[in-house]
Amino acid sequence: MTLTKPARVRFAPSPTGRLHLGGARTALYDYLIARQSGGQFVLRIEDTDRKRFLPGAEQEFMDALHWLGLQWDEGPDIGGPYGPYRQSERKEIYLQYAQQLVESGHAYPCFCTPERLEKLRSEQQARKQQPRYDGHCRNIPPEEAAARVAAGEPHVIRFKMPRDGSVTCHDLIRGDITYRNDQLDDSILVKSDGWALYHLAAMVDDHLMKITHVLRGAEWLPTFPLHVHVYRAFGWEQPEWVHLSLFLKPSGKGKMSKRDAAELMKDGRSVYITDLRGLGYIPEAVNNWAALMGWSYDDHTEFFTLADLVEKFDIRRLNPSPAAINFSKLDHFNGLHIRHLDQEDLLRRVKPFFEQAGYHPDDATLRKMMPILQPRLKTLDDAPVVAGFFFREEVEPDPQRLVPKKVTPPQALEAAKRLYEVLSALPEVTLESGEQPVRALAEEMGLKAGALFGILREAVTGQAVSPPIFETMEIIGKETVLKRLQHAIEILETMQN
């Protein structure tokens, strides 16, 4: 716990895509700060760009956040004292504040056409200059500009950036950053269609919603001075600005593109939260993993539950340098958190993955499987591949593997038959009742125990690797074990000819 005053933080996604790792980590930190300080976590939808709006995206974001366990206190679905929480429902508010800026001389209407701007930009680029607005409409007398606006002439509202001096902006993890004003642009605040841009809308909302800490990606650093200028123009007190380090692709070369993201999916990995869920990752692991990219607690503690994070997260320990995404570490955390799950909990989570793979698991069997399954799972969707044979009607042993190295087919057949005899003589097959007789059999036949276990494993599971075979047989039951062994014997018999 590092914050003593209640913090109001907001996660403000744009419904143009899906929640990805970077956003999830920002939301996580937001959540942690709000919870540990007894403040509020606000969800705000930044949907002022009507062209890029994606139907369903808002719901997708909320689903993903819910899955991660990051419940918000105020948002479009539940309302709150500072609503509405959808920017598309706040259009008039932004216009009103834009007008205020025009009247105070901090902004001005610009009548330049997109065509002129495009031409200007390409000329500047040709001259290897920094592309920016040339101030064409900056000095139109206010009365004249107002008249043109009143006459309905198409226009945007631009911020009137000071031409000299500099701004020093304070970032919580980087300290002061100074920008020269003459390097800054007269950015557009309101588009010609009347919709405010981020530079205005987000500042107005953060102020109106009494946000105390703005956490956002480091890609906002270049426009940081603009935002500080906007705050100053309004005479508002600034929030604490926190620019989170960027996530780089696993190679460390650049940030993730849509294309890279699609490419990742081929390896069973993804930066999209709802994909991670489908891939068998659990939210505990995703949160733990994401929390540690850009933040650390000390020099050795790495396992954290959400509750641990609420308690231990310290905004002052954020790291400014970019981090390459490391999926093998996610696998590690996933295994770790799966092993920490209560067995009933694991059962509930793993069941859908069996069903999805086409099995019809019953809870009683599942429950018996948990102890042997739990330490073997990296992801939940590993479950049907390592343990699907529990629910298969029949298992198809591989004839080659039924005959281990240094064992002849006739020996293997003999072994299978004797195994059948030994096991059928048992009241039931368990580790306690079965292991010694089987080992004795191996010795009697002059086979290595491992070879005999191998034959048994292949016959019963149809796999070369499986959970320990006696525990497995105990769960499957003597009857099924014998049936499968009989099937293996038949396969071995046909091999003899």
Residue from 320, 358, 410, 477 that binds RNA (CB under 7 A)?
A: 320
Supply the minimum distance, in Å, between the C-beta of residue 378 and RNA.
7
Q: Which is nearer to RNA, 181 or 424 (CB)?
A: 181
Residue from 83, 138, 207, 223 that binds RNA (CB under 7 A)?
A: 223
Q: Does 299 bind RNA (CB under 7 A)?
A: yes
351 is known as an active-site residue: no
Candidate segments 27-35, 145-153, 241-249, 352-360, binder of RNA by CB under 7 A: 241-249
Q: Which is nearer to RNA, 47 or 275 (CB)?
A: 47
Q: Which is nearer to RNA, 185 or 308 (CB)?
A: 185
Q: Does 445 bind RNA (CB under 7 A)?
A: no
Closest CA to 225 of 197, 247, 255, 203: 203
The total number of residues written for the chain in this structure: 497
Binding string, residues 115-154; x marks residues near RNA by CB under 7 A: --x---x------xxxxx---------------------x
Residues between 243 and 262 that touch RNA (CB under 7 A): 245-246, 248, 252-255
Contact in structure between 87 and 190 (CB atoms under 8 Å): no
Residue from 465, 494, 496, 497 that binds RNA (CB under 7 A)?
A: 465
CA 318-324-325 angle, 5° bins: 95
Residue 63 DSSP symbol: H
Contact in structure between 72 and 43 (CB atoms under 8 Å): yes
Q: Does 268 bind RNA (CB under 7 A)?
A: no
Q: Does 46 bind RNA (CB under 7 A)?
A: yes
Supply the minimum distance, in Å, between the C-beta of residue 300 and RNA.
4
Q: Which of 5, 51, 128, 258 is catalytic?
A: 258
Supply the minimum distance, in Å, between the C-beta of residue 177 and RNA.
4
Angstrom CA distances, 295 to 22, 251, 319, stand at: 13, 20, 6
Q: Does 221 bind RNA (CB under 7 A)?
A: yes
Closest CA to 458 of 441, 477, 438, 473: 473
Number of residues near RNA (by CB under 7 A)? 91
Q: How far apart are CA 133 and CA 278, in angstroms?
A: 46
Residue from 134, 240, 308, 331 that binds RNA (CB under 7 A)?
A: 331
Supply the minimum distance, in Å, between the C-beta of residue 497 and RNA.
29
Supply the minimum distance, in Å, between the C-beta of residue 29 and RNA.
13
Q: Which is nearer to RNA, 38 or 171 (CB)?
A: 171
Q: Does 65 bind RNA (CB under 7 A)?
A: no
Residue from 82, 220, 236, 420 that binds RNA (CB under 7 A)?
A: 220
Q: Which is nearer to RNA, 150 or 360 (CB)?
A: 150
Q: Classify burial at 238, counting beta carbons within 10 Å of its beta carbon; exposed 0-12, middle 13-18, buried 19 or more.
A: middle
Q: Which is nearer to RNA, 46 or 58 (CB)?
A: 46
Residue from 29, 179, 354, 359 that binds RNA (CB under 7 A)?
A: 179
Q: Does 75 bind RNA (CB under 7 A)?
A: no
User: Can you list the positions of beta strands (E) in 94-230?
Assistant: 107-110, 156-159, 166-171, 175-180, 188-190, 213-217
Contact in structure between 435 and 419 (CB atoms under 8 Å): no
Residue 159 DSSP symbol: E
Supply the minimum distance, in Å, between the C-beta of residue 432 and RNA.
11
CA dihedral 258→244→67→3, nearest 10 degrees, is -170
Q: How far apart are CA 447 and CA 410, in angstroms?
A: 13
Query: End-to-end CA distance of the chain, in Å?
Result: 74
3-class state of residue 43 by DSSP: strand
Q: Which is nearer to RNA, 120 or 357 (CB)?
A: 120
Q: How far apart are CA 415 and CA 456, in angstroms?
A: 9
Q: Which is nearer to RNA, 174 or 392 (CB)?
A: 174
Going 151 to 153 to 155 to 160, the CA torsion angle's sign is negative
Residue from 36, 48, 270, 287 that binds RNA (CB under 7 A)?
A: 48
Supply the minimum distance, in Å, between the C-beta of residue 458 and RNA.
10
CA 267-268-269 angle, 5° bins: 95
Residue from 136, 138, 148, 317 that binds RNA (CB under 7 A)?
A: 317
Closest CA to 236 of 253, 211, 271, 262: 211
Half-sphere exposure of 200 (CA within 13 A, CB side): 32
Phi, psi for residue 293 in degrees, rounded to 5: -95, 95
Q: Does 227 bind RNA (CB under 7 A)?
A: no
Q: Does 328 bind RNA (CB under 7 A)?
A: yes
Q: Does 406 bind RNA (CB under 7 A)?
A: no
Supply the minimum distance, in Å, between the C-beta of residue 496 and RNA.
25
Contact in structure between 30 and 41 (CB atoms under 8 Å): yes
The kind and range of the H/E element at 241 are strand 240-244
- What is the set of active-site residues? 258
